[in-house]
Structure 1
Amino acid sequence: MSELYREKSQAEEEIHSLSNSNKSEVDDAFDIALQARELEITDEIEKRISSKINWYIQPIIFTIYALQYMDKVTNGFAGVMGIQKDLGLVGDQFAWLGTGFYLAYLIAEFPIAQALQRLPFVKTLSFCIIVWGITLCAHAGAHNSAQIITARVFLGIFESSITPGFVILSSQWYKKSQQFAFTALWFSCNGAGGILGGLIAYGLLHHADSLVIESWRVLFLVTGLLTVLFGIVFYFYVPENPSKAWFLTEEEKLYHVQRIRENQQGFGNKKFKWYQVKEAFTDIRTWIYIFWGLVAQIPNGGLGSFSSILLNQTLGYSKEQALLMGLPSGAIQIASGIITGYIANKTQKRILVGTGCCAITFIGMCLLAFTSHPKSQLGGYYIIPFFAIGIVTILSSIASDAAGHTKKVTVSAAFLVAYCIGNVIGPQTFKASDAPGYTPARVTMAVCLAIATVTMFSLLLVNIHENRKRDRKFAEDPNYYIAPENAEFLDLTDFENKNFRYSY
């Protein structure tokens, strides 16, 4: 232990010797990295720290992500609970509830991403969670199409914070080798949110006659208040970054920094660096993420608003049955996240796993789009939740492969803008004139998923090629690149740091 304090004292001297301008260039973990550089992590230490992080961080993250999905799809549940009739929504106005949400999400994405970088991270994210909960409660007070669309717009603005925020959390708390599995777990909580929301909606619809207001209004109030409650918990519970973790000892904080050295990146940097923005848009991976996000999310946007309506109108289930028949898809999404996370963690072949899941989703969509028997269509509908693993693959790739904090938030925001555009387009493929079959929408979704599968596979080829290229250069000249000391915490990008290797 005395050796540990001696290292800390030496590191503090080096930190004080840095000028203020230099300090702003390095990662927030740089100070701790200097203190931790000689520490060796044993299996026992690794297991102890990992266990603490899992027990203290995972439950709140899983809960918040389940709630955000439940909040997002309340629109779809309300669609079979009578919102169109009660608010006088006609023609394609209901589709615009989903489109308005994602248009706002799109517009807010870059400003929110910058706010998460420049302002206190956890406080900013907590604020957004609490405000979107309040906004969801306000849905209950809508009395016409203009009011409900306005509420959906504000919900989209503040919900746009959660996914980029959780990408940052994943890179702060987990090693590169663990990030796919962790991202798969928190993203699979969408399934839990869908199940919980469906059960609440079913219960309210079943007892609608005993309620003093419409059941869909109560749905918005209940889900909104739950979000506000957990947003407050998030504010007081989650540390700003691992160096301020109240559940880790001072020694464990140092060991955690050593754990994430393999990421070739640290906790983040609050200085916005324009050269990293430029680099982000000269990186072919960014454009693959963007294109995949666009084409893959057209089906997501359509199903997010119309899945319950498809079960009701196209497959012929009653309104209450439609809510119940949607529940297994949530369970399948949870199971797919756990299973694929385990496979990817064991094989370290995350993009291959993601490509396989895109292909499975394409098969499911073909069953829904091109078969006529209700049971085969329902079978296809239940396979579709595997598409979430494609998003997990992209998000975990951004977390681990877009190094440099400004580059990471830029790439994340660019992907989520494309994600929003796809989700904006999706509901518009469901035309009121095509009801109850919505055949053009189903065919469009199948074509999009075929393109998405090929696009995901191209990311695998790009990363393998770049890794082999870097390995070849080092084999030809071992001094091809000599990294500065503590390069992992200098906020270098993956282009700058030639020791960096991309996941595949």
Structure 2
Amino acid sequence: MSESDVKAAVASANSTNSAEKFEASQGEVDAIFIDPELERRTLRKFDQWLLPPLTIILLLAYLDRSNLGNAKIFGFTEGIGLKGNQFNIISTCFYPTYVVFETPWTMAVKRFGAKHVLGVAMVAWSIVTLSTGFIHNYQQAIALRVLLGAFEAGLVPCIVFIISTIWAREAQAKRNAIIYGCNCLSGAFGGLIAYGIESMGTRHGLESWRWLFIVEGAASVGLCGICWFLLPNTAEDAWFLTAQEKECMRSRKLRDIVNRGSADDSPMEYVKMAFSDICVYLAAACLFCCSIAIFGFGTFLPTIIKGLGYTSLQANYLTIPVYIFATCTLAAATFASDLMKKRTVVLCVLPIPVIVGYIIVCATANHAVGFFAMFLCGGGIYAFNCILLTWVSNNLAPDYKRSVGVPLFICLGNISGIVSSNIYPSSDSPRYIMGNAVSAGMEFLALGCVVVMWWTLKRRNSEKERMRAEGLEENGKHGDKALDFVYNL
């Protein structure tokens, strides 16, 4: 099919009435043939040219976000004169703007493309991180954490959305794994960088915690600037594709119209669908529960390990093997989920070691056993969130509904950051039993939410299957509610 034919078919598929549009364009869709080798070659280019800059961006963002935990044990609280629970409040202030701005950022990517929207965001948050190295009081710390949350807000939902527009549903989990893989690796690199900077001590009159923000912020400014130029704006006009490969991507978009939707010119219809879909709120409840554990783990792991009886310096480098193990289990779980083309069974297994790990930490003060428990927690936390994210993205269509539904479920789930920042108060040191117990209980609730979501989607599939068995060809609904859309379980 030539490029002009594809454009004509796409135009037909974007006509005024969505039902008529689908019928009118179905002939063109059925006539599309895409050379499998060309398709594989094209998608390999996205793996080679898109995933690396996304990985770097994510790694830098997580470093800039989580270095507050490392800075705390370097003297951050004493350096700016914090008292009582002020450190926890600073941690909390990241999340209100983070939650509020997730959906607007993602809709902006859908409307204006990834390159410019993410480019502005990532350079801005890098400058905010660099500036944190020069603060002197509590109020300045609050202001910069609020700004950091606003600029980092769209990163994860935007990347999930971008991945969903390129790869097939059964291939998305291992690509989404870079999101949480970078989260894990940022913990490992953050511990390593923090160890080096702590060993460096005071230089040029600046404490080591200040150098932590300055070094990481300066690196982010430079590397994010480079990544800005490497990002494509849309999948169909990526700079690294040949004319033939760009035509392939346009053909794939039309071919996948059932799963990606057939009414991109009527976005408000799908915005309403996203806000009225009960599964978005079930997923948000699940993410809320499991994210209490992941946010607490990411911010307070050095503090938890120090509470097990290790020194500040040991607490930083002992986070490294925990995060490396978490990265390995994340890779194994996402590859297994994609291979089986199933999400629920993996999601039901992953919370178990997390629950066991937190129970162990609550039950014993033994250093070695508590440290082992951190491996159990890290081994399940990140993989669970990644596959949940993929599962939700797989089951929302078309693109406009997904561009609203994914950030909506993420922003509602990320309200948990406000809770997780306050369940490890300094008054609960050294063992932080309350925070660890809350994390264990929330992982158990997340497991229950997965079961409810599976039951809801299975009922929808069963109802559609019954209607098809009765000879119906359409049910008057669009997107993932359409008769020929099958929810991934």
TM-score (normalised: structure 1)? 0.88
Are the counterparts in 1 of residues 302 and 315 from structure 2 also a CA contact under 8 Å? yes
Find 2:403's aligned residue among 393, 405, 409: 409
Find 1:180's aligned residue among 173, 180, 184: 173
Q: CA 1:243 to 1:91, structure 2 compared with 1: closer, same or farther past 3 Å?
A: same
SS at match of 2:480: coil
- Matched to 2:140, the amino acid is Q
- Which residue of structure 2 lines up, in the alignment, with residue 85 of structure 1? 78
The superposition leaves residues 185-240 of structure 1 with CA deviations (integer Å, 9 ceiling, x where unpaired) of: 33212111111111111100011145531111111112112222232223211111
Paired with 1:326 and 1:123, the residues of 2 have a C-alpha distance of 35
The superposition leaves residues 104-124 of structure 1 with CA deviations (integer Å, 9 ceiling, x where unpaired) of: 212222333333333333201
- Which residue of structure 1 lines up, in the alignment, with residue 460 of structure 2? 466
- Which residue of structure 1 lines up, in the alignment, with residue 348 of structure 2? 355
Q: CA 1:462 to 1:346, structure 2 compared with 1: closer, same or farther past 3 Å?
A: same
Paired with 1:321 and 1:268, the residues of 2 have a C-alpha distance of 55
Find 2:133's aligned residue among 123, 131, 140: 140
SS at match of 1:97: helix
Are the counterparts in 2 of residues 176 and 262 from structure 1 also a CA contact under 8 Å? no
Pair 1:434-2:428 in alignment:
yes
Offset of 1:411 from its aligned partner? 1.7
Offset of 1:359 from its aligned partner? 2.1
Q: Matches of residues 292-331 of structure 1 in structure 2 within 5 Å?
A: 292-312=286-306, 314-331=307-324
Pair 1:212-2:205 in alignment:
yes
- Matched to 1:329, the amino acid is V
Q: CA 1:259 to 1:271, structure 2 compared with 1: closer, same or farther past 3 Å?
A: closer
Are the counterparts in 2 of residues 41 and 259 from structure 1 also a CA contact under 8 Å? no
Are the counterparts in 2 of residues 463 and 502 from structure 1 also a CA contact under 8 Å? yes
Offset of 1:377 from its aligned partner? 1.4
The superposition leaves residues 38-80 of structure 1 with CA deviations (integer Å, 9 ceiling, x where unpaired) of: 22333x3343223222111111111111111111111001011
- Matched to 2:190, the amino acid is G
Are the counterparts in 1 of residues 156 and 179 from structure 2 also a CA contact under 8 Å? no
- Which residue of structure 1 lines up, in the alignment, with residue 33 of structure 2? 39
- Which residue of structure 2 lines up, in the alignment, with residue 493 of structure 1? 479
Offset of 1:154 from its aligned partner? 0.4
Are the counterparts in 1 of residues 99 and 414 from structure 2 also a CA contact under 8 Å? yes
Offset of 1:257 from its aligned partner? 4.3
Q: CA 1:13 to 1:177, structure 2 compared with 1: closer, same or farther past 3 Å?
A: closer
- Which residue of structure 2 lines up, in the alignment, with residue 49 of structure 1? 42
Paired with 1:450 and 1:499, the residues of 2 have a C-alpha distance of 34
- Matched to 1:81, the amino acid is F
Q: Matches of residues 20-39 of structure 1 in structure 2 within 5 Å?
A: 37-39=31-33
Q: CA 1:112 to 1:480, structure 2 compared with 1: closer, same or farther past 3 Å?
A: closer
- Which residue of structure 2 lines up, in the alignment, with residue 489 of structure 1? none
- Matched to 2:371, the amino acid is L
Paired with 1:197 and 1:137, the residues of 2 have a C-alpha distance of 15
Paired with 1:51 and 1:364, the residues of 2 have a C-alpha distance of 38
Paired with 1:26 and 1:330, the residues of 2 have a C-alpha distance of 49
Paired with 1:247 and 1:191, the residues of 2 have a C-alpha distance of 29
Find 1:170's aligned residue among 154, 159, 163: 163
Paired with 1:368 and 1:238, the residues of 2 have a C-alpha distance of 43
- Matched to 2:394, the amino acid is S
- Which residue of structure 2 lines up, in the alignment, with residue 9 of structure 1? 4
The superposition leaves residues 240-290 of structure 1 with CA deviations (integer Å, 9 ceiling, x where unpaired) of: 111101222222223334556457344998767333233223322111111
Paired with 2:50 and 2:372, the residues of 1 have a C-alpha distance of 35
Are the counterparts in 2 of residues 36 and 255 from structure 1 also a CA contact under 8 Å? no
Paired with 2:43 and 2:212, the residues of 1 have a C-alpha distance of 37
Quick one: percent identity of the two aligned structures?
A: 24
- Which residue of structure 1 lines up, in the alignment, with residue 381 of structure 2? 387
Offset of 1:493 from its aligned partner? 1.9
Q: Matches of residues 70-149 of structure 1 in structure 2 within 5 Å?
A: 70-149=63-142
Q: CA 1:311 to 1:12, structure 2 compared with 1: closer, same or farther past 3 Å?
A: closer
- Matched to 1:400, the amino acid is N
- Which residue of structure 1 lines up, in the alignment, with residue 394 of structure 2? 400
Find 2:332's aligned residue among 339, 342, 360: 339
The gaps in structure 2 that reach 5 residues or longer are none
Are the counterparts in 2 of residues 180 and 350 from structure 1 also a CA contact under 8 Å? no
Offset of 1:15 from its aligned partner? 6.1
Paired with 2:467 and 2:451, the residues of 1 have a C-alpha distance of 25
Are the counterparts in 2 of residues 205 and 320 from structure 1 also a CA contact under 8 Å? yes
How many residues of Structure 1 are paired with residues of Structure 2 in the alignment? Answer: 484
TM-score (normalised: structure 2)? 0.91
Find 1:251's aligned residue among 239, 244, 252: 244
Q: CA 1:210 to 1:390, structure 2 compared with 1: closer, same or farther past 3 Å?
A: same
Q: CA 1:10 to 1:179, structure 2 compared with 1: closer, same or farther past 3 Å?
A: closer
- Matched to 1:274, the amino acid is M
Pair 1:236-2:229 in alignment:
yes
Paired with 1:19 and 1:85, the residues of 2 have a C-alpha distance of 60
Paired with 2:16 and 2:247, the residues of 1 have a C-alpha distance of 24
Offset of 1:9 from its aligned partner? 3.5
Pair 1:448-2:442 in alignment:
yes
Deviating more after overlay: 103-112 vs 8-17: 8-17
The superposition leaves residues 22-48 of structure 1 with CA deviations (integer Å, 9 ceiling, x where unpaired) of: 79x999xx99x9699522333x33432
SS at match of 2:247: helix
Q: CA 1:494 to 1:453, structure 2 compared with 1: closer, same or farther past 3 Å?
A: same
Offset of 1:461 from its aligned partner? 2.4
Paired with 1:185 and 1:384, the residues of 2 have a C-alpha distance of 19
- Matched to 1:458, the amino acid is V
Are the counterparts in 2 of residues 401 and 502 from structure 1 also a CA contact under 8 Å? yes
Paired with 2:108 and 2:262, the residues of 1 have a C-alpha distance of 13
- Matched to 2:69, the amino acid is G
- Matched to 2:58, the amino acid is Y
Paired with 2:237 and 2:266, the residues of 1 have a C-alpha distance of 22
Paired with 2:5 and 2:203, the residues of 1 have a C-alpha distance of 70
Paired with 1:82 and 1:461, the residues of 2 have a C-alpha distance of 49
- Which residue of structure 2 lines up, in the alignment, with residue 503 of structure 1? 488
Are the counterparts in 1 of residues 74 and 312 from structure 2 also a CA contact under 8 Å? yes
